[in-house]
Amino acid sequence: MSQVYFLEILYLVFGSLLLLSDTHGIKYPLLLSFRYAFRTKRSLRLTLIWSGVLLTILSLFIPYEPGPILLGDLVMSIALLCLTLWYIAQDTKKNDSQQGVFDEVGSYIERNRKNWGFVILAVACIHFVVPGCVLL
C-alpha cells in the first residue's frame, strides 16, 4: 500500500499549492497556472474530488504499515477530508444566500487559506519524512 501512501502525499502537496497560490503566486508563477487550471477545468475539479474521496477511504481503512485498521493515518485522513471538502465547496459555489455544509467549510478554509495551505503542506512533509509514525 505504499503506492496509495505516496498518492496521498502528492494529493496533499497539490492541494496545499492550490491553497497557497494566492499568497505566493507572484513569486512562483507555476502556482498561478495551477490555480487557473483548477478554476477553469471542471474535469480537473471532479478528478480531484473523486480521488480525494477514494484516498480518504483508503487512508482510513487500509493504513500504511504498522498502523491499526480504522485509525490508520488519522492526521493525514483528516487533512485529506478537509481538502476534499474544500474542493467540493469550490465546485458547487453558488451565488445564493442559502449556505450548506460544504459552503460553510469552503468559506472557513477560504478565510484561512494561507494557514490551511501551510498546515496541509506540513502534514504531507511530516508523513513523507517519517512514514512509520502513523499515529502522529
pLDDT reported for residue 136: 47
Per-residue pLDDT averaged across 118-136, rounded? 77
End-to-end CA distance of the chain: 19
Q: Are 35 and 25 in contact (CB under 8 A)?
A: yes
Asked if the structure places residue 55 within a domain, the reply is: yes
Q: Is the pLDDT of residue 135 over 70?
A: no
Q: Per residue in 13-53, pLDDT tens?
A: 999 988 888 887 777 888 888 888 888 888 998 999 999 99
State the CB neighbour count (10 A cutoff) for residue 69: 9
3-state secondary structure of 135: coil
Domain count of the fold of the chain: 1
**d(C-alpha 71, C-alpha 118), whole Å:** 24
Q: What is the mean pLDDT of the chain?
A: 80
Query: Using the 8-state DSSP alphabet, how is residue 68 labeled?
Result: P
Q: Is the pLDDT of residue 114 over 80?
A: yes
Question: Would you call the peptide bond into 63 cis, given omega within 30 degrees of 0 as the criterion?
Answer: no
Q: Is the pLDDT of residue 71 over 80?
A: no
Q: Is the pLDDT of residue 64 over 80?
A: no
Question: Cell numbers 499549492 correspond to what residue?
Answer: 17
Asked if the structure places residue 136 within a domain, the reply is: no
**d(C-alpha 67, C-alpha 23), whole Å:** 36
Whether the model clears a pTM of 0.85, i.e. scores above it, the answer is: no
Asked if the structure places residue 135 within a domain, the reply is: no
Question: Cell numbers 508523513 correspond to what residue?
Answer: 127
Asked if the structure places residue 62 within a domain, the reply is: yes
Domain range for 9 is 2-129
Asked if the structure places residue 134 within a domain, the reply is: no
